[in-house]
Amino acid sequence: MTSAAELHRQSIVIDGAAPLAANAQGVLDYMAGGFTAISATVSDNLDGALGTLRNIGLAHKIIRAASEMITVIRSAADIEAAKAAGKMGIILHFQGGDPIENRLDYIDAYKSMGVGMIQLTYNVKNRIGDGCDERTDAGLSRFGLDVVKRLNEARIVVDCSHTGHRTTMDIIEASERPTVFSHAGCKAVHGSPRNILDDQIKAVAQSGGLVGANAFPAFVSGDAEPSLEQLIGHIKYVADLVGVDHIALGLDYSEGQHPYSNLEQAQAIYDKFVETGEWLPGTYPPPPYHYPKGIETPASAVNLTEGLLNAGFSTEEVQKIIGGNWMRVFREVWGE
């Protein structure tokens, strides 16, 4: 029987939400953890297109400087090539559609720069639709419908994370390609406002998409330091509800977590998000943030593979969860 360590080493391993990629030590920890590709957040929702352009340019500069270790991902084949070369791929990802501003052509520009996945809102209302922490849940705007259509045409993955319930359902209905929740927990397992309902899980699965299991502690459980078993509980819930083909990883490691920030630094990050209105204290408790025991950082991701095997998932199912399901979606949306 293949050991967890050997299975992890052989497999394509993908994290669909990796804001920690902005942290140099975090990138090294992803590499140490055997990740083949990670989705790095490059959007700037406050400074819009200009701030986002700066972030994308910086990302490309860093990747060029470290080209022996990391590479930009534009296709599913690029991920396979990264695995074969012993490199880690970087998928450029927006957490929020504000950088599109009111110009659909920006979507094509971002695609040409290597952006592979765009989340449409970040908790609050924008031109596209309502976020999951908005007072209202009005669904997609007319412009939002046009955005989904253009994302489909540009072959960019449409991400429903952080988005209001009706808005997500509108997105999934409007999209002609698979949609995803790149990082989300199940509200039936833990009732955080950021987690999603069964009808959202069923709808995204029906689209051919997936849910990336989120390890941010407040979305896993009510415990200050959740367990690995509690995170796997979310994975099992999705697998039981819609099948193992529709659950993946979107672990959401971030700079404000332990051990990458001390408590003072984490509090400053938290205060900024609360001040801008992007985070509500009722949804996001203050730090410290300790990720599930055993996978406190991405460097220990092999323990998640072992935990999935111990939870009764087969070798083939584990390979789908830790990377194969993302590959299927990427092939369908991006092409080979």
Over residues 82-114, the pLDDT tens digits come to 999 999 999 999 999 999 999 999 999 999 999
pTM greater than the 0.85 cutoff:
yes
The confidence score (pLDDT) of residue 66 equals 96
Structural domain span for residue 302: 4-334
CA separation (Å) from 2 to 34, 81, 244, 322? 17, 24, 20, 16
First to last CA, the chain: 32
Question: In the numeric block, which tokens belong to residue 160?
Answer: 């429903």
Beta-bridge mates of residue 94: 118
Percent of the chain with pLDDT over 70: 100
Burial of residue 116, with CB atoms counted within 10 A of its CB: 0-12 exposed, 13-18 middle, 19 or more buried: buried
pLDDT at 299 over 90: yes
Q: Domain tally for the chain?
A: 1
* Mean pLDDT, the chain, integer: 97
Percent of the chain with pLDDT over 90: 99
Burial letters 180-219, b for 16+ CB under 10 A, else e: bbbbbbbbebbebebbbeeebbebbbebbbbbbbbbbbbb
33-77 pLDDT, tens per residue?
Answer: 999 999 999 999 999 999 999 999 999 999 999 999 999 999 999
Cα separation, 192 vs 170, in Å, equals 22
Helix 325-334 / helix 76-85 crossing angle, nearest 10 deg: 130
Cβ contact 295:219 at 8 Å:
no
CA separation (Å) from 168 to 56, 180, 200, 229? 26, 10, 7, 28
The confidence score (pLDDT) of residue 336 equals 78
Cα separation, 230 vs 236, in Å, equals 10
Band (pLDDT 50/70/90 cuts) for residue 2 is confident
Cβ contact 82:73 at 8 Å:
yes
Q: Which of left, alpha, beta for 86 (phi over 0: left; psi -120 to 50: alpha)?
A: left
Output the domain CATH number for residue 297: 3.20.20.140
